Structure 1
Amino acid sequence: MKINFTLFAAFVFCQISLAQQKDTIVSREKLSEVVVTGQIEPQSIKKSVFNVRVISKQDIKQLAANNLSDVLNQYLNITVQNSGSDGRSTVSMFGLDSQYFKILVDNIPLVSDTGMGTNVDLTQVNLDDVERIEIIEGSMGVTHGANAVTGILNIITKKGGANKWDISATIQEETVGNEYSLSDKGRHIQSLKVGHKFNDNWYVNIGGNHNDFKGFYDDKQGKDYIVNDNLRGYSWLPKEQWVGNAMLGYQKDNFKIFYKFDYYGENVDFYSPVLVPQDNYPFPETFFARDKRYLTNRFYHHLNANGKLFSKLNYNVSVSHQKQERDAELFDYQLETKKESNNNRFTYQSKEVFYSTGTLSNFFNNKKVDFQLGYEITNENGFYSGAAGTFLDNGLQSVDVRKRLENYDIFTVAEISLSDKLSIRPGLRYSIQNTFKDQYASSLGLRYLFKKGLEARASLGKSYRTPNFDELYTYFVDSNHNVQGNPNLVPENSTSYEVSFKRTCDLKSGGQIANNLAVTFLDVDDRIDLVLTQITPSKYKYININKYKMWNISTTEQYAYKNWNVKVGAALVGISQKLDLAELGITSDDKFLYSLQLNSSISYNVPKWNTLFALYYKYNGQQQQYATGTNEKGEAEFYLNKINPYSWMDASVRKSFFNNQFEVTLGARNLFNITNVQITQGSGASGGGTHAAGPQALMLGYGRSYFLKLTYNLNFN
């Protein structure tokens, strides 16, 4: 840990020393890029009270990213958690999982298996029609409601185009580790986008994407392997995805309206490693396997209108309807004939949501004061089929679970410029809940502009997280399991504090330096955990049980000179959790456990060749967390899980031909060839020996892979 602190101190010292080079820099007067997330009205990053991070379209192109999982691996304070067993990828921020981080598309939370905007599978978020991604760390409960505890990610999609016709077609081929073939190995992506501007008022965008991930074999032998030695199947399940989207928009003067439709379809195939013999005496014995596939269909509708009322008030209203269904299909697969039989398909999970949000602003004819009044309505209808085997009635028979979660919120935000340098932003939200007690969120933000380009920001936010469907209603009890939800759970409450300093300057040499330093503290009460509540027989239950504290200090330094662009960053996070299990008579240690992240990127543009070279690197330090279990004596205790450190590196080369009509991107992901990272279980918090289980492995990637992306752009008026 001393080495980690030394590295981190070096990065902080680098920022301070760069900011003090008064004789070599002059103030930068250029306007920053415009952001919309969390703002009363779209404005430059410099004017924003929030510390907004932007992932540009160029960053997405350089990484040849097809979905969010391809992008977020490289960013500080964000950890992508992959699961090869079900093909899902979710995001963790500040050590808290995806239940605390909200993902939106054009300010609309995206429906997921267990909520709205949370626990989103990153591989299901396609980036073909994305203009940019905006990330705000810290509590955003006032403007974005429940579960925006650690931050929000807002995907801004393209609206219209500069030309009468914009047509783009892409083919992308990737290896999966060292596995590739055109038929049954690798990753194969095709996409087509067409945009048409009828006139100055009307436009339409239509697109489609097909992503065929053939799975990762590793030491497995695929679906047609006929030896009964537990090697049939895949280490990462095959997954095929289809995406279709369309947008129709109209704008005239101060009025804009658009309708956006998205369809997402997915098939994930599971091939059982266990072969079932068939006695065909006197003929040779044959085998079949009891396989299954999971099928997902998601429909997304979004209607947005914004403009002016009475030639003064700014309004922005969105109405959204989303529906997601997950089906399971069980079948027998005959190994000799390669045919399926006894197919049984049923819907085991569905989520249908009506959502609407709207704001009114610009109440005063005063540039120094702005006031926003808003509402949010969420009506979420969830369904789980008892046939899925997850929800059981007292362990005796399967039942279907249907529940409706609703909230009706109002919120208000003011932005007051006390001077040209000082702005203050108070906010308050009140949420009427049908399942829980009514909740509220509050915030206070400050921004001060110093001389020579130094920007200072501070924020205080109180937010809440409501229990999700699984935490409330899971009842999985049989002879081998006892995992129960808890309808009596209450929402978690959190308080966050953040202070940040930012400076962007031009150098006399023609270069540019940008520095950003942020310190964050987060305190969560009544955090929900699945914990061991009974040793024999083992019983687990979701309970409001622990207290969670986190502090983080992070810094990024960016330097641009001529055709070079270099960025380095570091983040140190400390996490304290206290769990008190009265039923078992044990209490965890609440000391802070630390983890370090480093990242860097370097790119070089060769204008003569129309070529851009880029290299991305991220180091994830050791992570630690207490969990419940039993020791060698069968006694309950807390033990410390430790995830070993690992590094991630991606590289790419992008070249344009024929006046940027044709682009070729060649690159590699996961250059360090990471697959699994060891999890070790150390001594218990009580000091009573070590946990009986041995080391485990966390599946992170499928090794070093290479990609080739070809894009043809046709734009004309």
Structure 2
Amino acid sequence: MKKQISLLQFSLVLSASPVLLAETVSPANAVDMNPVVVTGTKSEKLLSDSPVKTEVVTREDIKANHARDVKEALEDIPGLMLKRIHGKSGYEVWLQGLDSNRVKVLIDGEPVAASTGSSVDVTQISSLDIERIEVVKGATSALYGSSAMGGVINIITRPADQGVHYEALAEGSSYGEDNPDGAAAKFAAGRLNGRISSGTSQWYSVLNLDVRTSEGFDATPGTWTTEGAEGERYSAGGRLGWTPTETQRYEIYADLYKEDLNSQTIANTGGKIIPKIKDEDADRIRLGGRFNVDSNSGQWKGSLFRESFENDTYQDIVSTADKEDHRSAEFETRRTTLEWSNLVWEEHFLTSGLEYFYESLEQFKEGVAEVDPGTDRQSIEWFIQDDLFLTDKLEVIPGIRWQHDSGFGNYVAPKLNLRQEITKAGSWNLFTRAGVGRGYRVPNLKERYYIFDHSQIGYMVQGNSDLEPESSNSLQLGFGANNGKGAYVDINFFYNDITDLIETAFSHTDSDNVAIYSYINIAEAETRGVELSAAYPLNPQWRINGGYTFLESEDKRTGLTLPNRPRHQIKAGIKYQHPEWLTELLLNGVYQSEEYTDETNSLESPDWSTLDIKLSQPVYGTFTVFGGIDNVTDTQRDFSQADRDKRPEEGRFFYLGLRVEG
């Protein structure tokens, strides 16, 4: 019976409309510690039943933590590191010691273009329309191709509701003494958003709008430079769906993101300090359509997707009337997919898919092309995966992925995952899971052609058209136990071995004394370690959870530790809910050990810890007042040693808000 349920779950979810799915999610399910996941296998499974190691952030987690964007939603995932993007105002995701260049970020399975370098800025993605986030670690899944060597972040949007439902939120926040004007008691940042959804048995629609503003923050008063960018971020989106029958669903969608940020910097030219304002403008448009059809021959699923991303930067010298050093870049991504899934011979749940991918890049400086129009790459990829139970307790998922890239030819990556139920001890179910996979990443267009100009802080990175692809071997071995009542323990050992790793290396110094770097295939590296996570409800009001990660990394050329990878990380949380007032209190803490900040292991950033306090109180039925203090300990880096100090940039942060739902 368990085998049939596990293999048929995907058929059920494809044949159900989002309206029907919304009806099945009750508040009790929303806080379930064992939610349904799909990213690791493309079939619906309980989290504890997934053979592919997966972490989940639910909608309830996002609301309880008052997360404004994906960065804040991911902060409590064990083993996941969020790092400031160098020279930019956003954050990127690292998994198991592999940096963001090797982590694939998806929204409903569609890729998000890198906003800078090869990194996706996860602060650009608002949390308003997120149902859950699924994090798959390592390169063991056959469902994802190039750029997923370190893992996958799949952001799954919220379903429409039966009838008409709405949600609105207003929030004000302060950096305290780091407010730019030094007025600690004023709101220096804010957020406004709203969502409305409606649905019938055949039609549904969703509209979202999110606005975030900030005056930035200044941790170095008395100097020209500011550390936090000032400006606005806007997100808007909508979906329209049609479900003519219980076995068909068709949907079109559009999402828009816009940001206008600026920060104060200085340039040292010939020993002379020149104050500058750095402007960053970004526009992202995502358009697409998809369908799900359940037929006698199986479940068919297809999509058409297009994303355009434009990025403009200025380095404006304050003493002049004009804006100088204007660079603009335009990226376009197109993706077409077709997938088929079916239960075969009552034992094998086969999934196969075909994908066409296209991306192009253009870059201009002062209107003159630095990367010529027509610079592009294309790929065709095919995968097949079999999900079968060899016994009632042993599930095995073999898979293989083939990729043909226009610049690098063919590559085949085999994968294998399994899950074995061990025994039942009282109310606890004990199991083990394992995965092995070959990872592969072709150099993206930015690494091959783009110019990252940070000359205002003394360096520039130039693309290299002669780069070769990276490859890796990923191993995952885990043991877990859960009691079906919200308590679980999970331990996972991991090993990632990478060859032809693409890194930046010093090339020369130009006539303006700017250090020029370039991408080259010089590195062979490995990361290995163990991740431990657990949660336990002490009673209906109190729950504790935590995670510990031990990470070792090695540059195999030198035997030294890879930079920016702390050996120890601890994350812990306590949640309390009053049974009558429904008051909700969260305490979240993070500890991170020292980390080397250079390749020679001669510079070391200090260890650090932070504590966040979050409080929510429902009032007057549909209204909820919420507030909190992030980084209560006011842990902050020394900005005079920014190259070696990797502690948090933001200091203590206060906020207060009101949410209404109906």
Q: Please list the CA deviations of residues 166-199 of structure 1 after superposition, one character each: whole Å capped at 9, or x if unmatched.
A: 11110011112435579996211000111122x2
Equivalent residues in 2 for 1:439-454, closer than 5 Å: 439-452=411-424, 453-454=429-430
Q: Please list the CA deviations of residues 292-311 of structure 1 after superposition, one character each: whole Å capped at 9, or x if unmatched.
A: 522111101121111223x2
Match of 2:203 in 1: 202
CA contact (8 A) 1:644 1:678 kept: no
Equivalent residues in 2 for 1:231-380, closer than 5 Å: 231-251=223-243, 252-271=245-264, 291-309=277-295, 311-328=296-313, 341-342=321-322, 348-362=328-342, 364-366=344-346, 368-380=347-359
Match of 1:8 in 2: none
Q: Please list the CA deviations of residues 489-524 of structure 1 after superposition, one character each: whole Å capped at 9, or x if unmatched.
A: 111100011111111116xxxx75311111111110
CA contact (8 A) 1:191 1:207 kept: yes
Q: Please list the CA deviations of residues 369-426 of structure 1 after superposition, one character each: whole Å capped at 9, or x if unmatched.
A: 111110121100111113389x8xxxxxx66465101111011101111111011111
Mean Cα deviation higher: 43-52 or 596-605: 43-52
Gaps of 5+ in 2: 1-31
Pairwise CA distance, 1:568 = 2.0
Instruction: Please tell me whether residue 702 in structure 1 is matched to residue 646 in structure 2.
Output: no
Letter matched to residue 350 of structure 1: E
Pairwise CA distance, 1:357 = 2.2
Pairwise CA distance, 1:89 = 1.1
Distance 1:341 1:306, change over 3 A: same
Distance 1:129 1:481, change over 3 A: closer
From 464, 467, 491, the equivalent of 1:517 is: 491
Letter matched to residue 632 of structure 2: L
From 444, 449, 458, the equivalent of 1:473 is: 449
Distance 1:215 1:31, change over 3 A: closer
SS of the counterpart of 2:366? helix
CA contact (8 A) 2:332 2:359 kept: yes
Equivalent residues in 2 for 1:404-423, closer than 5 Å: 404-423=376-395
Instruction: Please tell me whether residue 665 in structure 1 is matched to residue 626 in structure 2.
Output: yes
Equivalent residues in 2 for 1:31-180, closer than 5 Å: 32-83=34-85, 85-113=87-115, 119-140=119-140, 142-162=142-162, 164-179=163-178
Distance 1:545 1:344, change over 3 A: closer
Question: 1:438 & 1:419 partners in 2: Cα distance?
Answer: 36
Question: 1:107 & 1:430 partners in 2: Cα distance?
Answer: 18
Q: CA RMSD in A?
A: 3.2
CA contact (8 A) 1:87 1:239 kept: no
Larger radius of gyration: 1
SS of the counterpart of 1:95? coil
Distance 1:512 1:122, change over 3 A: closer
Instruction: Please tell me whether residue 712 in structure 1 is matched to residue 643 in structure 2.
Output: no
Q: Please list the CA deviations of residues 435-486 of structure 1 after superposition, one character each: whole Å capped at 9, or x if unmatched.
A: 1132222100111112211121111010112212332124689998675432
SS of the counterpart of 2:580? helix
Q: Please list the CA deviations of residues 634-677 of structure 1 after superposition, one character each: whole Å capped at 9, or x if unmatched.
A: xxxx4433222111221111111233x10111111111212216
Distance 1:573 1:698, change over 3 A: closer
Instruction: Please tell me whether residue 650 in structure 1 is matched to residue 636 in structure 2.
Output: no
Pairwise CA distance, 1:42 = 2.0
SS of the counterpart of 1:256? strand
Distance 1:669 1:418, change over 3 A: same
Question: 2:528 & 2:48 partners in 1: Cα distance?
Answer: 25
Question: 2:647 & 2:530 partners in 1: Cα distance?
Answer: 28
SS of the counterpart of 1:178? helix
Distance 1:502 1:639, change over 3 A: closer
Q: How many residues align?
A: 612
SS of the counterpart of 2:344? coil
Pairwise CA distance, 1:290 = 5.7
Q: Please list the CA deviations of residues 309-344 of structure 1 after superposition, one character each: whole Å capped at 9, or x if unmatched.
A: 3x241111121110011123566767xxxxx95457
Question: 2:570 & 2:561 partners in 1: Cα distance?
Answer: 26
Question: 2:639 & 2:328 partners in 1: Cα distance?
Answer: 33
Match of 1:186 in 2: 188
SS of the counterpart of 1:58? helix
Letter matched to residue 642 of structure 1: E
CA contact (8 A) 1:442 1:461 kept: yes
SS of the counterpart of 1:190? strand
Instruction: Please tell me whether residue 457 in structure 1 is matched to residue 433 in structure 2.
Output: yes
TM-score of the two chains, using structure 1 as the length reference = 0.79
Gaps of 5+ in 1: 1-29, 222-230, 277-287, 335-339, 392-397, 580-586, 628-637, 681-693
CA contact (8 A) 2:174 2:186 kept: no
Match of 1:16 in 2: none
Pairwise CA distance, 1:250 = 1.8
Question: 1:213 & 1:542 partners in 2: Cα distance?
Answer: 34
Letter matched to residue 609 of structure 2: S
TM-score of the two chains, using structure 2 as the length reference = 0.85
Question: 1:432 & 1:695 partners in 2: Cα distance?
Answer: 40
Letter matched to residue 596 of structure 2: Q
% identity of equivalent residues: 22
Q: Please list the CA deviations of residues 230-260 of structure 1 after superposition, one character each: whole Å capped at 9, or x if unmatched.
A: x335222213101101011122311112212
SS of the counterpart of 2:72? helix
SS of the counterpart of 1:123? helix
Match of 2:531 in 1: 554
Distance 1:196 1:84, change over 3 A: same
From 564, 581, 584, the equivalent of 1:612 is: 584
SS of the counterpart of 1:609? coil
Match of 2:28 in 1: none
Letter matched to residue 707 of structure 1: Y
Pairwise CA distance, 1:602 = 0.6
Equivalent residues in 2 for 1:516-665, closer than 5 Å: 516-532=490-506, 540-560=517-537, 561-579=539-557, 587=558, 589=560, 595-624=567-596, 626-627=598-599, 638-659=600-621, 661-665=622-626
CA contact (8 A) 1:559 1:565 kept: yes
CA contact (8 A) 1:160 1:249 kept: no
Match of 1:675 in 2: 636
Question: 2:203 & 2:371 partners in 1: Cα distance?
Answer: 50
Match of 1:385 in 2: 364
CA contact (8 A) 2:178 2:651 kept: no
SS of the counterpart of 1:541? strand
